[in-house]
Structure 1
Amino acid sequence: MRAFLAAAIVAVPLFAAHPALADTPSGALTLSRSVDGRGHTVATLFCDPDGGTHTSPKPACDLLREIKGDLGRLVSNPDVICTKEYLPHRVTAFGTWEGRPVRYTRTFGNRCEMTAVTGAVFNF
């Protein structure tokens, strides 16, 4: 019991001395979007705490938290109706979510279809 108590007393200051550990985001992603194969728009997204260069990190992170960072689990919002316009939007995401690697690539027929599936994640 004394050994446990001694170890606990020594460990507490070690954790307190490293507050950066608590600030490590649960998600750190680099997101890109290209329209019709021309140019790329790139943003970073950090979750918990929410931030990065993404213009709406909170709604994007809220969606990612719902799906536990697995972009493959994204489904189309049934309340969104899109036109048949064809202007392909290719999106990619890579980084980490809770220590797991994230890799996602998908091409949507247009911006509406992209937003119906990915919500705020690629709207930056």
Structure 2
Amino acid sequence: MRAFFAAAVAAVPLFAAGPAVAETPVGALSLSRSVAGGPQTIVTLFCDPDGGTHTTPKQACDLLRPVQGDPGRLAYDPHRICTKEYLPHQVIAVGVWAGKPIRYAKTFGNRCEMIAVTGAVFTF
């Protein structure tokens, strides 16, 4: 995890100060997910305009916009019912949103719990 944070922190200036483009995104995040200690899957997510390597950037950005890009401020979906199976999903988000640094890391008990809190943000 330290290696991921180091690489992500080093990449933040690339998101914030790259060559001039038609529109600079408000949010630029590097997202990582690993299941049960397995290999990490890492994607990029850009918001406003939405894009990156994330499979559903619009849905993820729609969730992050009201919380200024901070996944830690996302609300739990009380209507979602999850089983008690234990298959830990570790997620990490590092980047910038409107010029402010974003850092978030959490381990959920299973995929359902992860989706109940973060919706489409870490489903890639």
Cα distance, 1:66 vs structure 2: 1.4
CA RMSD, 1 decimal: 1.0
Cα distance, 1:21 vs structure 2: 6.3
Cα distance, 1:72 vs structure 2: 1.6
Moved over 6 A (4+): none
The reply on whether 1:37 has 2:23 as its aligned counterpart is no
User: TM-score with structure 2 length normalisation?
Assistant: 0.82
Counterpart for residue 70 of structure 1: 70
Structure with bigger gyration radius: 1
Cα distance, 1:97 vs structure 2: 0.3
Classify the secondary structure of the residue corresponding to 2:39: strand
Q: Which runs of 5+ in 1 are unaligned?
A: 1-19
Cα distance, 1:22 vs structure 2: 5.6
Counterpart for residue 12 of structure 2: none
Query: What pairs up with 1:93-104 in 2 under 5 angstroms?
Result: 93-104=93-104
Q: Which runs of 5+ in 2 are unaligned?
A: 1-19
1:44 and 1:70 map into 2 onto residues whose CA distance is 15
Query: What pairs up with 1:1-124 in 2 under 5 angstroms?
Result: 20=20, 23-124=23-124
Counterpart for residue 13 of structure 2: none
User: TM-score with structure 1 length normalisation?
Assistant: 0.82
1:44 and 1:116 map into 2 onto residues whose CA distance is 21
Amino acid at match of 2:50: D
